[in-house]
Structures are given as structure tokens and as C-alpha cells.
Amino acid sequence: MHLTLRQLKIFEAVARHLSFSRAADELHLTQPAVSMQVRSLEEAAGLPLTEQVGKRVFLTEAGEELARHARVVAQQLREAEEALLAMKGLRGGRLNIGVVSTAKYFAPRLLTAFRQMHPEVELRLGVHNRGEIVQQLVDNDIDLAIMGRPPQELETVSEPFAENPLVFVAAPDHPLAEAKRIAPKQLAGESFLLREPGSGTRAAMERFLAENGVVPQRTVEMTSNETIKQAVMAGMGISFISERTIVLELATGHIVRLNVTGTPLRRHWFVVHRAEKRLLPAAEAFRQFLLKESGGLDEPPKEVPTASAASGSSRARPRKAAGRPRR
């Protein structure tokens, strides 16, 4: 069986996008040219690599196996190209970054600042849950990850670069919204809105409650911070969330912080990469940027109006003004 690097590069793009048209756009080829190369691969392999159901493309078992090897080859080719460019003193290259969903609220700001310093670097940002980010590190699909809880099951280099304050939040008309001091045990009867198992925020909350002798009796699991915020505003329950994700909701008074003793929990954001991975110039530049230039994220969130203050605005219409004192 004879496979060419060009065929593997094309198939890797098809497998990554699960789309012939998007792969063609990325590679600046026509869709028929991409389809022809994949057919040639299938003929060489003697096995189908993709199957189409309606308008959706799926990988067969053989396709999954070939895609795994194609990703390794594509990554090695990219590393070889960028290493040679670096030796020639040329700048540029591609940077693949994966961030957990909570980090999507500030990651674009960091990337914008980095791009102003390094406009020649091609950036690719993926937002996933923690489990998917860890798997991308395992598969070497990303150069760097931004996450709040580095994986213990994988040998990595994990460096803190910013604070990640975690707080309990509720709707402005919640009975505890105006309380100046809330003992953790007062939360025992609440409905908790949680992220999926494996989430760093969920793990931090469960650890905090356990340390304070609180066993949640009612929980609702949700897969995104946006859904959790909407559920909190609707009065479904309380949640534990990164303060950086709710700046707008706090400013408009649609969500309030609960003054729970022992919070906010001061956690950190980490930039993470595989321990054995040699960072190429673009990735190393971004790592250094996070460690040296992103100190602005360590500043506490700007003071925002409480629900009662925000209720005077024509844009903010919380169901009840909370008038909760600032901490």
C-alpha cells in the first residue's frame, strides 16, 4: 500500500472537520479534489474510510485508525517546518490552543493582545470541556491548554498565570441574596446547578462543601456556563462559578454573589503542555506572554453595581432588587 504525505494531509483535515467542503476551504483546494484524494486512499487501503449519512460525514473504524496516524504525521511535519523557519530566523508559524469553556470569557482578550505583538502567528482556538481538553493534550492535537485544574493523569508542565476566583451565585430575589454572612451549612437545602463530572469548578465546589460538612441534597447537572447562568436567573437554584464569567450579569443585577463564608475560593488559571513536548517558537512566545504580560487578569473584577443599584437602569430589569451590600 502506497500513501503520500499529500493524501494524509488532506485526509487529516477531512477527519478533523468531518466535512469535505471545510477541509477543501482550509487547504485551498476544490471539494472534488479532496474527494478524489480520499477515494484514492480508500482504494490503496482496500477499506472504506468515511461514510456519509445524509449530509453528515462519519469516519469508519479504518478511518479512525488512519486519522490517528495522520494527525501525528501532520503535527510532525508542522514542527519540522517551524523548526527550520526558526533556525533561519523567520517568525510565524501556527499556534493551536485549547481552553476549557470557562476560559472562553477572557481567552479572546488575551489572544487579541498577543496577536498585536505577533501578527505573523496563525492562531487556532478551540473551546471544549475539561475532559476533551485533556484528551487533546494526550493526542498532541494542541500546543497549549488553558485550564483551572491541570490533569493528574498526564505528565505535564502546568504554570499558573492568573487568579480564578470562584463564588456562589443566585438570583437577586433569592432569600439569601441580602445576607451579609452565610455559613456554608445554610446552603444544605439549596438546589445546586452543576457542571458535568470532571469539571474543575464542580470539583472545587464539591471539595469546599465536603470540607464544611455539606452534602447537596438536590442537584441539576448542566453542560455549559451559559445554561447555568440562565437557570440561576430563572430561580432554579444556586451555583458555584468563576467570577470572571459573570461580570456582565453582576453589572446588570440579574445575578448576585452570595456572601458565603470562606469564599471566594482563590484558584488559578494554568497554561499547560505535555512535559515531553518541545514547544515551537509560536507556542513558547504565547506561554511567555501569559506568564509575563497577562497580569491584568490578576486584578480583581471591577466593582459592579449590586442588584438594587442596577435596577435603576433602563437596561437592567431583575425581578427583584436585592440591595446586597458589597463585600
List, for residues 102-140, the tens digit of each pLDDT value: 898 889 989 999 999 888 888 999 999 898 999 999 988
List, for residues 206-252, the tens digit of each pLDDT value: 999 999 999 988 999 998 889 999 999 999 999 999 998 898 899 99
Confidence of residue 78 (pLDDT cuts 50, 70, 90): confident
pLDDT at 327: 37
Question: Quick check: pTM over 0.85?
Answer: no
Beta bridge partners of 289: none
The size of the chain, in residues, is: 327
- Specify the fold of 1-87: Arc Repressor Mutant, subunit A (1.10.10)
Distances (CA, A) of 201 to 83, 127, 166, 206, 240: 37, 16, 8, 9, 7
d(C-alpha 26, C-alpha 146), whole Å? 25
Any idea where the domains of the chain sit in the sequence? 1-87, 164-267+301-310
Which is nearest to 247 in space by CA: 144, 63, 146, 105? 105
- Specify the fold of 164-267+301-310: D-Maltodextrin-Binding Protein; domain 2 (3.40.190)
